Amino acid sequence: MTQWAWSARSCGGCARAEPTTDEFRRCCFERISPLYWRIPIFLWALTVISWSVSSFWGPVEMFLLYMTHWGLLMIVLESAFGIAMCMKKPSIELNDATFGLPWYVKTYWVLYNIAIPVAFLITVFYWGILKSSKQLHNYAPNPVLDIMLHGINSVVMFVELVFSGHASRLLHIMQPLFFALAYLLFTVVYYYAGGQDPWGNAFIYPVIDWSKPEQTMVVVTLTALFLALMHLLVVAVASARDAICRRLRTTAGIYNDGFGDES
């Protein structure tokens, strides 16, 4: 078994593990290839996105108006990079100064850090806010597709989280927040450019209506706080996962140092 390299740097009095490419290619519970869950997730995401496009309730060019579809694309990309990374044969790779990881591993890690909390956010936002909105639109005419887009999306990302063998870092919280900020800026530009939703409304989501900026900013602020909370949940789950893994192993392993500092 590949031995984990530990850094001598201090992290509040404890040693920290430097991430290696091998961590991203293995399952936390060992002897299980990540391909066993990443390939099904990738195929699931491709199927759902194809189904969503074919049954979209408006012009196809409006498909990417919605955060749900942005999140689905992130799952496609995250699982695709995860599969490619696992299938790539180990070799002498050109690393850079950031943790010594090759670019495709860092790209996967960023996608991972975004896709999981965003999936959780989409599920809670949809069922907790949109479904209770007085201006509710039928965002998924097919009830099965509705569950796939706004429920199973979180399930598959939870599977990715609990089986992955690499760390989730606390300070990576800015990555999903920057992603959400990009979507928010998109909604602002779309509104002031005169864009409409497929039903002719001057908003994409009724609770994010820039003709009512005060109300919208309250929703946006609460949503950002909840997304940050989702990232904290991801780090906590990863830490619990790694604690369980250590107890199951008879040899030294990795721990999730997500609550430590970051260099």
Average pLDDT estimate for 49-65: 91
pLDDT in tens, 162-220: 999 898 999 999 999 999 999 999 999 999 999 999 889 899 988 899 999 999 999 99
Residue 250 lies in a domain: no
The continuous run of DSSP H or E covering 71 comes out as helix 67-87
Higher pLDDT, 16 or 71: 71
Residue 17 lies in a domain: no
Residue 178 lies in a domain: yes
3-state secondary structure of 259: coil
Residue 249 lies in a domain: no
Q: What is the pLDDT of residue 247?
A: 84
Domain with 38 in it: 22-244
Per the structure, the count of domains in the chain is 1
Residue 179, C-beta contacts closer than 8 angstroms, at least 6 positions apart = 74, 114, 118
Asked if 65 and 85 touch (Cβ cutoff 8 Å), the reply is no
pLDDT in tens, 136-157: 556 666 889 999 999 999 999 9
Residue 62 lies in a domain: yes
Residue 13 lies in a domain: no
Residue 149, C-beta contacts closer than 8 angstroms, at least 6 positions apart = 48, 52, 68, 72, 122, 139, 140
Residue 60 lies in a domain: yes
Tell me: pLDDT of 12 over 80.
no
The continuous run of DSSP H or E covering 43 comes out as helix 35-54
